[in-house]
Amino acid sequence: MSVFSKEKTINKVIEINTENILPNPAQPRKIMDSDELQSLAESIRYNGVLQPLTVRRMKDGLYELIAGERRLRAAKMIQLDVVPCIVVDTTGQQSALLSVLENLQRKDLTFFEEAMAYSALIRDWGITQEQAAVKLGKAQSTIANKLRLLRLTEAEQRLIIKNHLTERHARALLKLDDEAERQEALNTIIAKGLNVGQTEEYISRIVNPILKPRQEKVIVVKDVRLFINTVTKAVNIMQKAGVDAHAKQVEKDDYIEYIVTIPKQSRKPTPKLLAPSGA
């Protein structure tokens, strides 16, 4: 029988003692909102369990939970003795798969829990990412991107979920390979309340720091004679061009006074005299 085929069930709902229902070891859900769980418990108190849990029969009168983790926890919170269940005739391996699929379909897993569910499915069934994508009706890139999230440490994952950061925040952090650097970046993101765009820009600056422009070296010439010669040459060039410029150099005790006089109007060239026409 295919592991993804519909399982044969007992055609009636039976009540099972909550203490006889064991959690499923493949349960991907690790975090449950306490307020939502309390709200569900109050609803069950007044309305009962409207949707039966799904379990499989084990030895010694025990059952393993396949679907209904939140309902079971809520029932135990209000000390409910029994809950309605549908017993599925399935193996332990198939039970694990069904538990993963049931939780994935509910869309309320964190992105890390979803990644762990994919990882467990691939590991336990010995299938590839491509095969898992086909079975789950998802793109292979979606599976691959989710699995990459598990490169973050458990501590980092907890901080991300606790501070309500998004999957895109987590993906941006994956660009940092060094764990200490990543932890420091995560602390900064949380402290400054950076959004996704700001986080991606911040991580980009860490990964590709902007190179500081090279400062051009300025050569300082201490021999003032070079400057004086330069000014003198400039005055000579102006004089050759017809500018009646003059320079005066006066030696003082502590400095050299150099005065350059440049007229506002250039000197007009002297016109040449023409010889008499009868000559």
Q: Please, what's the largest Cα pairwise distance for the chain?
A: 148
Write the CB contacts of 186 (distance below 8 Å, at least 6 apart in sequence): 156, 159, 160, 173
Q: Give 47's contacts (C-beta < 8 A, 6+ positions apart).
A: none
Active site residue 36: no
Q: Are 161 and 31 in contact (CB under 8 A)?
A: yes
Give residues with Cβ within 8 angstroms of 30, minimum separation 6: 110, 112, 113, 116
53-57 vs 63-67, strand pairing mode: antiparallel
Catalytic residue among 42, 64, 69, 154: 69
Q: How far is CA 183 from CA 47, 158, 194, in A?
A: 46, 12, 15
Residue 106's beta-bridge partner residues? none
Region class of 65: left (phi > 0), else alpha (psi between -120 and 50), else beta: beta
In our burial notation (b when 16+ CB lie closer than 10 A, e otherwise), range 206-243 reads eeeeeeeeeeeeeeeeeeeeeeeeeeeeebeebeeeee
**DSSP helix/strand/coil, 259:** strand
Q: How far is CA 50 from CA 43, 55, 74, 83, in A?
A: 10, 16, 13, 10
Residues in CB range of 143: below 8 A, 6 or more apart = 118, 129, 132, 133, 136
Give catalytic residue positions: 69
